[in-house]
């Protein structure tokens, strides 16, 4: 939990509100911290999609609660990937 909090605040507040991620801060965080999981998709369209999905109150920024939704979604996606991977490995035996 501490790592999630530290990561959020590492990028929040570089511009504007120190408790939210702007579109630019979100792009920086996605590229630097989650590039391997997102295929290093830092293009404007991809960032706009993620921002739109996370910004539930439509204020143009991502607060910590909205950020946690991203973390949860990525965790579920990784879990599903590893379950499928393990099933395929067992079938090969």
CB 16 within 8 A of CB 62: no
Tell me the H-state helices in 1-93: 2-11, 23-38, 44-54, 64-92
What is the CB neighbour count within 10 angstroms for residue 3? 7
Tokens 């599903």, located at residue? 80
63 pLDDT band (50/70/90 cuts)?
A: very high
Domains, the chain, ordered by start: 2-92 (1.10.238.10)
The chain-wide mean pLDDT, for the chain, equals 84
What pLDDT does residue 38 have?
Answer: 60
The answer, as to whether pTM is greater than 0.85, is no
CA torsion sign, 76 to 79 to 81 to 87? negative
* CA–CA separation, 18 and 87 (whole Å): 44
DSSP character at residue 21: E
């Amino acid at each position: 939990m501490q790592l999630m909090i530290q990561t959020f605040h590492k990028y929040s507040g570089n511009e504007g509100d120190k408790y939210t991620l702007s579109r630019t801060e979100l792009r920086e965080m996605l590229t630097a911290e989650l590039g391997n999981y997102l295929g290093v998709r830092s293009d404007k369209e991809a960032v706009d999609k993620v921002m739109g999905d996370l910004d539930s109150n439509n204020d143009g920024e991502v607060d910590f609660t909205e950020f946690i939704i991203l973390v949860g979604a990525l965790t579920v996606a990784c879990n599903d990937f590893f379950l499928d991977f393990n099933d395929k490995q067992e079938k090969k035996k």
